[in-house]
Structure formats: C-alpha cells, structure tokens
C-alpha cells in the first residue's frame, strides 16, 4: 500500500511545508494517508500533483495544500469531535480522522458517500460516521463540535454551522459567490461570541441545496 510514500513525502515538502504549514501532526497525516486510493482510477497517477482532481458528479477533491491549510486552521486535538460538510472521496475525512477522536461527515451525493465509506472501511479507519444529506443543516443530533470544516462553498455561512460549534470551536469554510470566495476561519469564544477572519481567496465547488 505504501509504494507511493516517497511521492507523498515530496508532496509535503514541496507543496505544503514550503508554503508555511507547520503543524507536525497535520504534516504527518498528509504523509501517511494514501491520497491515490481516494481518487478515481484514471486520476490516480496525478494524485500527488499540486492541484484539485475531478471525482465525478461534477465534484472535485481539493488540492493537497488546501486540505492541509484547512486542517491546520481547524487546530485539531486528539479529543476533538469534528463535523465535515462534503465527504466527497473521504480523503479529508481520513486526514481529520487521524487527528481527532471522531469525524461526522455529510455528503449530498449518495454514490460519493457510499464509495467513501467503502474506502475508509478498507483502510481500517473506524472513527468516522458518514451520512447522506444536505450539510446546510449541520448534524444537530451530534452537536456541538470542536471543529466544523466545509469542503463546499455557500454564498453565506449557514447559521446552523455556527450554532453547532462548541465553546472554543473552530469553523473553517469557504464562502461567497463563485467568482469571489474567501476561506473563513470563525471561532466561538468560551462566552459564545463569534469572531471571523478571512484567510485567503479560494475557489471551491458550491454548497448545493437539496432539490
Ligand atoms: N473533502 C472532499 C472534497 C469534496 S468536494 C474530499 O476530500 O474528497 C465538495 C463535496 O461537497 C462534494 O462531494 C459535493 O457533492 C459535496 N456537497 C455539495 N453540496 C453539499 C451539501 N449541501 N451538503 C453536503 N455535501 C455537499
């Protein structure tokens, strides 16, 4: 399974550490999770390239650097419970699963969720719970979360996701119209106040509304 470990080490050195990601646990997770096993067969040879890749259903898996950046911004801790919106291939889910105690992940495309579940199972990743649905509502039955991370961009941050943050929780989410999205880091203080900062301009697939 590790015939591509060398490519992953190079990916981390050249695309991720070189751009300022410093969290050692995040860098280790990016070195260890076999990204090529999460992308469709035709894309596997490009799995460690410096860009997003198509995953079917008009969706994409994010560029490795963006996955690492969002994960670092979330400041994962071993006891954290995380909510992910947009399971996609399950790659970001697998990265988070190495760094927190449990990941709850919602995907709107049933087939993507099913495939992600099979991959995570095959890799022996058990501290994840997947569900098919519309992430706008979050996952109230399992809230609150220390981390909420969205891999798809709403025009405006859904209030449910902010509400479902625990005190001290971090929400990492791209938001805005498709031509002008920003990656936001929102934090809920211990007293419930919420701060927000713009990290960088980004381009994500839109957070879809359930039809
Ligand atoms: N994190 C993923 C990348 C997924 S791309 C990975 O590592 O592969 C964004 C994903 O969000 C897509 O799979 C898309 O189907 C999903 N998505 C879009 N709108 C959604 C919504 N409203 N609720 C849940 N998932 C959604």
Strands 102-107 and 145-150, sheet pairing: unpaired
Structural domains of the chain, ranges and CATH numbers in brackets: 5-202 (3.40.50.150)
Residue 3 has pLDDT above 90, yes or no: no
Q: What is the pLDDT of residue 90?
A: 98
Residue 163 has pLDDT above 70, yes or no: yes
Class of residue 140 by CB neighbours under 10 A (exposed 0-12, middle 13-18, buried 19+): exposed
- Ligand 1 centroid to Cα of residue 189, in Å, is 28
Higher confidence at residue 3 or residue 159? Answer: 159
Q: What is the pLDDT of residue 211?
A: 63
Cβ atoms < 10 Å from Cβ of 6: 10
- Cβ atoms of residues 140 and 164 within 8 Å: yes
Q: What is the pLDDT of residue 210?
A: 82
For residues 82-100, give the mean pLDDT: 98
- Ligand 1 centroid to Cα of residue 5, in Å, is 26
Residue 196 annotated to the active site: no
Residue 25 has pLDDT above 70, yes or no: yes
Q: Ligand 1: residues whose CB is within 6 Å?
A: 59-62, 85-86, 88-89, 91-92, 106-109, 112, 134-136, 151-152, 205, 207-208
């Amino acid at each position: 399974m590790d015939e591509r470990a060398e490519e992953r080490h190079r990916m981390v050195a050249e695309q991720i550490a070189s751009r300022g990601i410093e969290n050692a646990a995040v860098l280790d997770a990016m070195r260890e999770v076999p990204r090529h096993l999460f992308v469709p067969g035709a894309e596997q040879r490009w799995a460690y390239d410096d860009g997003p890749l198509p995953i079917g259903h008009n969706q994409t898996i994010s560029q490795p650097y963006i996955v690492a950046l969002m994960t670092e911004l979330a400041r994962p801790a071993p006891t954290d419970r995380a909510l992910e919106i947009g399971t996609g291939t399950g790659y970001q889910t697998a990265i988070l699963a190495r760094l927190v105690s449990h990941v709850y992940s919602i995907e709107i495309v049933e087939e993507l969720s099913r495939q992600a579940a099979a991959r995570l199972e095959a890799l022996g990743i058990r501290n994840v719970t997947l569900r098919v649905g519309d992430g706008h509502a979050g996952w109230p039955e399992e809230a609150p979360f220390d981390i909420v991370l969205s891999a798809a961009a709403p025009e405006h941050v859904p209030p449910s996701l902010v509400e479902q943050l625990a005190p001290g929780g971090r929400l990492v989410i791209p938001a805005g119209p498709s031509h002008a999205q920003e990656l936001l880091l929102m934090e809920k203080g211990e007293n419930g106040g919420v701060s927000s900062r713009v990290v960088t301009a980004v381009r994500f697939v839109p957070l879809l509304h359930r039809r």
